[in-house]
């Protein structure tokens, strides 16, 4: 399965179960208990470093989405930008296969 199909599958599962948080403020406060964090290229370096630090602390993997926040928002069928997303209900198998393609 290629990278985009796998990412779309993971996002579809998270949306259907409504187990995700979007936006940097929500994600920063919900790192603990997350299974995967998706970060767009639009996120500034200060926020990215804070997110990386807290994700290492809680051992949450980060997937660096190769596009900007507009396209990440479109993946979630949102009419607005999404700079980062924390997914809570994702299988380990899906996370590992996505991170291998990064």
pLDDT in tens, 33-48: 899 999 999 999 999 9
Tell me: pLDDT of 86 over 90.
yes
Task: Give me the number of domains the chain comprises.
Answer: 1
Alpha-carbon separation of residue 58 from 38, 50, 64, 75 (angstroms): 15, 13, 18, 26
Q: Is there a contact between 84 and 37 (Cβ–Cβ < 8 Å)? A: yes
Average pLDDT for 50-57: 93
Identify the CATH number of the domain in which residue 9 sits. 3.30.1330.30
Return d(Cα 88, Cα 58) in angstroms, integer: 13
* Predicted local distance difference test score (pLDDT) of residue 58: 93
What is the rounded average pLDDT for all residues in the chain?
89
User: Which residue range forms the structural domain that includes residue 94?
Assistant: 3-100
Q: Measure the CA–CA gap between 85 and 39, rounded to whole angstroms.
A: 7
pLDDT band for position 1 (50/70/90)?
A: low
Given this model, what pLDDT does residue 61 score? 93
């Amino acid at each position: 399965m290629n990278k985009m199909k796998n990412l779309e599958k993971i996002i579809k599962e998270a949306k259907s179960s409504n187990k995700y948080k979007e936006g940097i403020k929500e994600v920063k406060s919900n790192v603990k208990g997350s299974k995967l964090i998706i970060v767009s290229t639009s996120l500034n370096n200060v926020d990215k470093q804070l997110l990386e630090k807290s994700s290492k602390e809680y051992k949450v993997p980060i997937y660096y989405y190769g596009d900007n926040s507009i396209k990440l928002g479109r993946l979630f069928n949102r009419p607005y930008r999404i700079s980062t997303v924390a997914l809570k209900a994702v299988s380990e198998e899906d996370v590992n296969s996505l991170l291998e393609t990064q």
